[in-house]
Amino acid sequence: MHQNFIRILFLGDIVGEPGRSAVIARVPVFKEEKKVDFVIVNGENSAGGRGITSKIAIDLLRCGVTVITTGDHIWDQKDVVGYLPTEPRVLRPANYPDGVPGQASIVLETPKGAVGVLNLQGRTFMHPPLESPFLAADREIERMRDETSVIFVDMHAETTSEKIAMGRYLDGRVSAVVGTHTHVQTADARIFPGGTAFLCDAGMCGPDDSVLGRDPSAILHRFLTGMPTPFPIAKGPVRICGVIVDIDPQTGKALAIEPLSEIYQEME
C-alpha cells in the first residue's frame, strides 16, 4: 500500500440537525480510525435543511472539520453574509461575480504538505444561474497551483453530465473532483487517466428513512397533489456518506479513492 500520502475525507451534504449531530460525533472517530489528515464537509443544508449559520460552522470546525464547502443555499441564512469574510475555511462557489462576500478556495498547511480546496457550482437546472464554473476553475486553479499540487474540488451541481464534464476538464490539474447537491451516493468512483479521483456524488449525511433527508410523507403529498407543503427533516438513524481519497503530496495525483457509507444511530 501507499505509505507517503495525504488522506482526505470528504462528507456529502449535511442535512439538518440529525446530519450535523452525526457528523460532529463521527468526524473525530473517522480521523482516528481511518488515519485521516484533512476533513472537508459540504454544509449548505446543515441549518434546518437550508443554508448554514455561523454557529453551525463553528461547531463543525471545532469537531475536527478542516474546511466547509457550500452551494446554492449558501445565502439562505442571513448571518453568513457577515460571517464568511471572517472565516476563510467556509467557502462559497467560485463562480459568483467579483465583490460577493467570502472566498471560494483556500490552501492550508498540514504536516504532510499544503492542501487546497475549491468550491464550484454548476449551472444546469441550478438557481441562481452563475458564471461558468469551468472558467472560474481555470482562474482559481492557476493561482492555487502556485501554492500546492494537492487540490480537492467540490462540484455542487444537479446533473451528472456537468459533474463528469468538470472531472474530465480538470483531469491532471487537480487531485479530486467530487460532486454534491443530489444527496444520493453514486457508484462511479474512479481515478481518471491524468490522476484525478472522481465521484459524481458523495451522497448526504442525513436521515436514512427519508427522501433526500426530508420526511417522505410530505414529499409524497407534494408529488401526489402538486400543492406546496413544508418539507420537514426526517427522523431516525442517519446515513453518513462521503469518500476517502489518498493523494501523493508531491505530484498531486490521486492514489486511491474509496466511497464511505455508514449508518449512525444516536445513543439514547
183 is an active site residue: no
- Report yes or no on 268 lying in a domain: no
In the prediction, which pLDDT does 2 show?
Answer: 47
Residue 165 resides in a domain: yes
pLDDT for the residue numbered 179? 98
In the prediction, which pLDDT does 266 show?
74
Among candidate residues 73, 156, 181, 183, the one labeled active-site is 73
Establish if 60 belongs to a structural domain.
yes
- How do the pLDDT tens digits run along the chain, 268 residues long? 445 899 999 999 999 999 999 999 999 999 999 999 999 999 999 999 999 999 999 999 999 999 999 999 999 999 999 999 999 999 999 999 999 999 999 999 999 999 999 999 999 999 889 999 999 999 999 999 999 999 999 999 999 999 999 999 999 999 999 999 999 999 999 999 999 999 999 999 999 999 999 999 999 999 999 999 999 999 999 999 999 999 999 999 999 999 999 999 875 5
**Cα separations (Å) of 136 from 118, 120, 238?**
10, 8, 34
Contacts of 258 (CB under 8 A, 6+ apart): 189, 243, 244, 245
Kindly report each contact of residues 211-215 with a partner whose C-beta sits within 8 Å and lies 24 or more positions away, as own/partner: 212/15, 212/182, 212/183, 212/184, 213/13, 213/15, 213/16, 213/18, 213/19, 213/45, 213/49, 213/183, 214/15, 214/49
- DSSP state at residue 234: P
The confidence score (pLDDT) of residue 265 equals 85
Q: Report pLDDT for 267.
A: 56
145 burial level (CB within 10 Å; 0-12, 13-18, 19+): middle
In a domain, residue 266? The reply is no
Q: What is the three-state SS of 67-117?
A: EEECCCCCCCCCCHHHHHHHCCCEECCCCCCCCCCCECEEEEEECCEEEEE
Residue 128: per-residue pLDDT: 87
Residues 158 and 165: beta-carbon distance below 8 Å? no
Q: How far is CA 251 from CA 18, 53, 148, 196, 246, in A?
A: 38, 36, 9, 11, 12
Name the residue with cell 467570502.
102
- 157: closest CA among 203, 205, 125, 118? 125
In a domain, 1, yes or no: no
Domain containing residue 77: 6-260
Residue 75 belongs to domain with CATH number: 3.60.21.10
Q: Answer yes or no: is 265 within a domain.
A: no
The structural domain count of the chain equals 1
69 within domain boundaries? yes
Torsion, Cα of 122, 20, 117, 64 (10° steps): 180
